[in-house]
Amino acid sequence: MTHVIITGGSSGIGFALASLYAARGARLSLIARSHDLLEQARTDLVRASGCNAEDIRLEAADVAAEADLLAAIRACEFAFGPCDILITSAGIVEPGHFEESDSSAFRRQMETNFSGTVHAVRAVYDGMTRRGRGRIMMISSGAGLIGIYGYSAYCASKFALHGFAQALRFEARPFGVGVSVCFPPDTQTPQFQRELASRPPQAATIMGTVRPWPANAVAKRIANGIERGRFEVHFGATLFLLARFGPAVRPLLNWWFDRAIARADDPDAHNRGVSKRQT
């Protein structure tokens, strides 16, 4: 049986992926901090997919704490055998203007989204390269393709994942290990609901035009990307084009975003061609 380890598997995109792999008869290891949320996820998975509760292992651990995460992943592999697929979905977002976000907010997002992914990969990588097989899927974000107003820490953490995945892909490939990264758009999850409450209006003006995706549609595309051995997985034409041609069209995008941000700052600003934050 395929053993799939999912960090952040108790909620949102990670949970949708767990549902999908449970329905395919995989053995699942779910890792997150809240034990209660993990238990609830297992109950829901068993009810929805009819899988056995014994085929779902739960480990409460913080991905930012490397030793704890390593111990959790070791326990999962001891119980269910070597990891065939690792999906790193654990992540947090704390929107806010740079000058209002203190260093701890930056640290939390970097340590969870970036270092937490590196820790999970490190825990399975050695075994995968020795066995000559395995797949790793990192969950970045559309915010890992383009900077977004009010998301400086989050964007930094998600851009970092892209660089990590690009470099690791070259090292892992000769050993038969596949490394992938995906860039989901706004997705209907508990995190997205929480995030909306603190999303700056300037960011809402830019991102509000995109309808959020259902989590199961995002999960399907990610699982499909894993199956086909895709390095990058994109969602929708806009994000695909942004990934392929972003650097070339960035001056145009910057111009368009500046205007949208100025309008959100001050609805009359675009008539005057100035932003309130600049005055």
Ligand X SMILES: NC(=O)c1ccc[n+]([C@@H]2O[C@H](COP(=O)([O-])OP(=O)(O)OC[C@H]3O[C@@H](n4cnc5c(N)ncnc54)[C@H](OP(=O)(O)O)[C@@H]3O)[C@@H](O)[C@H]2O)c1
- Catalytically active residues are 140, 154, 158
- Please give the sequence-ordered ranges of beta strands (E in DSSP) within the chain, or none if there are none: 3-7, 27-32, 56-60, 85-88, 134-139, 177-182, 187-188, 213-214, 232-233
**Residue with token string 């949708």:** 16
Which residue from 1, 23, 34, 167 is in contact with ligand X, where contact means CB under 6 A? 34
Q: Tell whether residue 89 is a contact of ligand X (CB under 6 A).
A: yes
CB of 17 to ligand X, least distance (A): 9
List the Cα angle 174/180/183 in 5-degree steps. Answer: 160
Which residue from 26, 28, 64, 165 is in contact with ligand X, where contact means CB under 6 A? 64
What φ, ψ does residue 64 adopt, rounded to 5°? Answer: -75, -20
Which residue from 44, 62, 66, 68 is in contact with ligand X, where contact means CB under 6 A? 62
Q: In the beta sheet, which residues pair with residue 5?
A: 29, 86
Task: Name the residue type at position 276.
Answer: K
Q: Tell whether residue 275 is a contact of ligand X (CB under 6 A).
A: no
Convert residues 183-212 into a mask of x (bound to ligand X by CB under 6 A) and - (unbound): -x-xx-xxxx--------------------
Report the alpha-carbon distance of residue 52 to residue 57 in Å, rounded: 11
Residue (180 or 187) nearer to ligand X, CB: 187
> Would you tell me how many other CB atoms lie within 10 Å of the CB of residue 271?
9
For helices 12-23 and 215-228, give the axis angle rounded to 10 degrees.
Answer: 60
Q: Tell whether residue 152 is a contact of ligand X (CB under 6 A).
A: no
Q: Tell whether residue 29 is a contact of ligand X (CB under 6 A).
A: no
Residue (6 or 262) nearer to ligand X, CB: 6
- Which positions from 115 through 134 interact with ligand X, judged by CB under 6 A? 116
Report the alpha-carbon distance of residue 51 to residue 88 in Å, rounded: 22
Residue (139 or 260) nearer to ligand X, CB: 139
- Near ligand X by CB under 6 A, which window of 5-13, 125-133, 198-206, 270-278? 5-13
Which residues lie near ligand X (CB under 6 A)?
A: 7-8, 10-14, 32-34, 37, 62-64, 89-93, 112-113, 116, 139, 141, 184, 186-187, 189-192
